[in-house]
Amino acid sequence: MKELLVKGKSLPEAYHKAILALHEEGEIGTSNDWEQKQKEVSMTFVAENPLAEPMISRLYIGGFYELQQYVMEVLDGVLDFKIGDGNCWEYTYHDRLVNYDGFDQIEFIISELKRNNDSRRAVAIIRDNAIDPFNVDPACLQHIQFLIRGGKLHCKVLMRSNDAAEASFMNAFAFVMLQKSIAEKLGVPVGSYTHRANSYHCYEKDFKLMEQYIDGIKNKSEEEITYNYTEYYKEIMEECIPEINEKIDVLRSEMKK
C-alpha cells in the first residue's frame, strides 16, 4: 500500500495535490463497501496556512448549503439529537468531541493548552471501542491533536478511512473551522493543518467524478476551481443558516412523533 505526502500553501492546493496523487499513484483493489473496486493509497496532505485564500475548492460534491450544514454538525452539534434513535446514527463527531463518556474534550484541549503551551496532551479521541467495532458505519475520524508551536495552533487529524472524492474536502474544511474556533479561544493564530488518512480512496462509482476533478486541476486556472471564502463564500454559506435551522427543526419534530 503506497504511502504519500503532499503539501500546499492553502487548503485547496493541498487537497488538489492529494486528489491528483491518488489518481496517478493509487492502487486498484476490491472493497466490501458498495461491492465494487476502489483506488486507494495512504495519504497525508498538509495545508501550511489553511486560512489562506482561496480557501474553498470547487471540486467537491454539494455546495455552500451542504458545506455550511456540515460545519454546523461538527462545531455546533445540530444533528446530535439523531443519535441512538432507532435506525439513526450511533454517534456524531461533535458528540464524541464534547461528550465522550461525559467528558468535554474540546474544553480540556483549551484548558490544557492554556495551562501549558508546549503540551503534547491536547488530544481528542473519536473512536469508541464499545460501539465502533460493532457498528455498520463506524467513525472514520479517529483522533485530533492540537499543538501550539511557534506561537500558532497546529492541527493534526487522523482518519482510518476517507472518501477522497465525496468527503475529504468537507471533512478538512470543517476541522479547519474547529481549529480556527479553538485558536480564537486561545488567542493565538492558526498554524498548519495536517490531514492523515490511512485509507484515502475513491470508489469505482466515483471514477468519472474523479476524472472531472483531475481535468479541472490539470487544465483550469486556480480561479476556475476555487472560491475565496471571506470575500464571497462565507456570506452565501451563512445566508443558509436560517433555512438549515428550519429544516433541522422539522426533522426534530418528525422524530418526536
DSSP letter string, 77-142: -TTGGGTTSTTS-S--HHHHHH-BTTB-HHHHHHHHHHH-TT-S--EEE---TTTGGG-SS--SEE
104: cell is 468535554
How large is the average pLDDT for residues 210-231? 97
Distance CA 207, CA 85 (A): 34
> pLDDT by residue (tens digit) across 10-38?
999 999 999 999 999 999 999 988 789 99
Q: Domain limits at 103?
A: 3-256
The reply to whether the predicted model has a pTM over 0.75 is yes
Distance CA 87, CA 101 (A): 22
Distance CA 128, CA 91 (A): 9
Confidence category of residue 174, pLDDT binned at 50, 70, 90: very high
What does the pLDDT read at residue 88?
Answer: 63
Q: Kindly report the average pLDDT of the chain as a whole number.
A: 96
What does the pLDDT read at residue 135?
Answer: 86
Q: What is the CATH number of the domain that holds 55?
A: 3.30.572.10
Q: How many domains does the chain have?
A: 1
Q: Is the pLDDT of residue 234 over 90?
A: yes
What does the pLDDT read at residue 32?
Answer: 83
> pLDDT by residue (tens digit) across 150-162?
999 999 999 999 9
> pLDDT by residue (tens digit) across 52-91?
999 999 999 999 999 999 999 999 999 999 998 655 678 9
Instruction: Look at residue 6 and give its three-state secondary structure.
Output: strand
What does the pLDDT read at residue 35?
Answer: 84
Distance CA 189, CA 58 (A): 26
Instruction: Look at residue 252 and give its three-state secondary structure.
Output: helix
The angle subtended at Cα 226 by Cα 244 and Cα 150, nearest 5°, is 90
How large is the average pLDDT for residues 221-232? 97
Q: Is the pLDDT of residue 188 over 60?
A: yes
Tell me how far CA of residue 206 lies from CA of 98, 107, 165, in angstroms.
34, 38, 7
Burial class (CB in 10 A: 0-12, 13-18, 19+), 102: exposed
Confidence category of residue 9, pLDDT binned at 50, 70, 90: very high
